Structure 1
């Protein structure tokens, strides 16, 4: 599965995209803890989730991009062989 992050310039918008496209629960809010819980234990994630055109988000939200990169690394360890890829 591929998610295009073109035009995503805020944490809230990114999390809304995740919620809609990955089928997160209705209660899901823009929180990295909720994101982790959802991808690890709540939804059935695809074998590979590819995030494209993420550079604009990284430019506007460098702190959140750093957190996302850490989540991606932790996910690779916790959920192997499933993975999230920045492309």
Structure 2
């Protein structure tokens, strides 16, 4: 059972180039991480800083790249261990449900 959202079916029209990299340097809060996701991944204006909204956005609302690489994530992991654990679970579930697309920690 997923704690962060429900999968909504979608039919992508195109696949953005592979890979896309997001640098998490300086990200120390959940809100800052979600703001980065919103800006860089093109989430809707109404997107809020929650794992439910993140899941819905990456599986059904925006067209994700074939591979999203998150770099320099260690500071976020130190500052927000609970949210990092949730992000790791999201990454695992995303790979299972959206293969061949994936999110990786680089």
Specify the TM-score bucket, using the shorter chain as the normaliser.
over 0.9
Task: Provide the aligned C-alpha RMSD in A.
Answer: 0.2
**What are the Cα deviations for residues 35-54 of structure 1, in whole angstroms up to 9, with x where unaligned?**
00000000000000000000
Match of 1:51 in 2: 70
**What are the Cα deviations for residues 41-84 of structure 1, in whole angstroms up to 9, with x where unaligned?**
00000000000000000000000000000000000000000000
- Structure 1 stretches of 4+ with a deviation exceeding 2 A read none
If each structure's helix is expressed as a fraction of its own residues, which one has the higher value? 1
TM-score (ref. length: structure 2): 0.82
Match of 1:31 in 2: 50
Long gaps (5+) in structure 2? 1-19
Q: Secondary structure at the match of 2:26?
A: coil
Q: Aligned pair 1:67/2:83, yes or no? A: no
Q: Secondary structure at the match of 1:71?
A: helix
**Rg larger in structure:** 2
TM-score (ref. length: structure 1): 1.00
Long gaps (5+) in structure 1? none
Q: Secondary structure at the match of 1:19?
A: helix
